[in-house]
Amino acid sequence: MFIIMPFAGLISNALIGFIDGVINLGGAISGFILGALFLPMVMLGLHQILTPIHVAMIEQQGATYLLPILAMAGAGQVGAALAILVKCRKNKQITTIAKGGLPVGFLGIGEPLIYALTLPMGKAFITACIGGGIGGAVIGAIGGVGSTAIGPSGLALIPLIYNNKWLGYILGLIAGYIGGFVCTYFFGIDEKYVNGAVLDGSSKFDFE
């Protein structure tokens, strides 16, 4: 308690400072960085430290302009899962996992796909992050895409988009889906999975 909590606080404060700096940078570059880094934060449970930023933005500006960018990480993950589903269609175990995680993935719940599919495959997790970055870059380039509340993500966030900017958000989602799909299809899947190798939940992450 006395060692871990202060250390975790230092990490949280450093991350918040970094994210504030990236937000101030603005534009497509800012969107790409935030969209690409959010999945690792979710994986480590660090995404909760962003709640005060969202709340402060909503109180001061009427919407959080950070959440729609971060939601693109889930779009990249969905795109990656679709690519895995297509390319590994003869692998029954992997297609079963992908089909089970995709419905909730479209609604912004990415943990099933992270822990059961892309992270164990290794490279697919990285290409999913890149897809999220591509979606985030589109949102950042469009600008002014905000959410009036926090919590939902993916398609479920569309009704909460501020000031009728939902079209910009949808364009970001599509870019994230396509980016995650293309990057994963060509660079994120080892041939052994295409040929039927199974994912072993007890094994280390596969970056071979």
pLDDT of residue 31: 92
Which residues, including other chains, have CB under 8 Å from residue 9's CB and lie 6 or more apart? none
CA–CA gap between residue 147 and residue 128 (Å, rounded):
23
Q: How buried is residue 44: exposed, middle or buried, by Cβ count under 10 Å (0-12/13-18/19+)?
A: exposed
pLDDT of residue 203: 44
CA–CA gap between residue 191 and residue 90 (Å, rounded):
12
pLDDT of residue 82: 98
The 10s digit of each residue's pLDDT in 118-142 is 999 999 999 999 999 999 999 999 9
CA–CA gap between residue 4 and residue 2 (Å, rounded):
6
Residues in the chain: 208
Q: State mean pLDDT over 15-35.
A: 82
- Cβ-count burial 62-99 (b if 16+ within 10 Å, e if not): ebbbbbbbbbbbbbbbbbbbbbbbebbeebeebeebbe
CA–CA gap between residue 98 and residue 46 (Å, rounded):
25
Q: Which residue has the higher pLDDT, 3 or 159?
A: 159
Confidence of residue 174 (pLDDT cuts 50, 70, 90): very high
Q: Measured at the alpha carbon of residue 57, what is the angle toward residues 167 and 165, in degrees to the nearest 5? A: 10
CA–CA gap between residue 47 and residue 73 (Å, rounded):
12
Q: State mean pLDDT over 168-196.
A: 96
pLDDT of residue 2: 79
Task: Flag whether pLDDT at 111 surpasses 70.
Answer: yes
Confidence of residue 207 (pLDDT cuts 50, 70, 90): low
Q: State mean pLDDT over 164-183.
A: 97
pLDDT of residue 206: 59
User: Would you tell me how many other CB atoms lie within 10 Å of the CB of residue 182?
Assistant: 18
**Encoded amino acid at 155, one letter:** L
| Residue 147 φ then ψ, to 5° | -120, 140
Q: Which residue has the higher pLDDT, 40 or 12?
A: 40
The 10s digit of each residue's pLDDT in 56-102 is 888 888 999 999 999 999 999 999 999 999 999 999 999 999 999 99
CA–CA gap between residue 20 and residue 54 (Å, rounded):
11
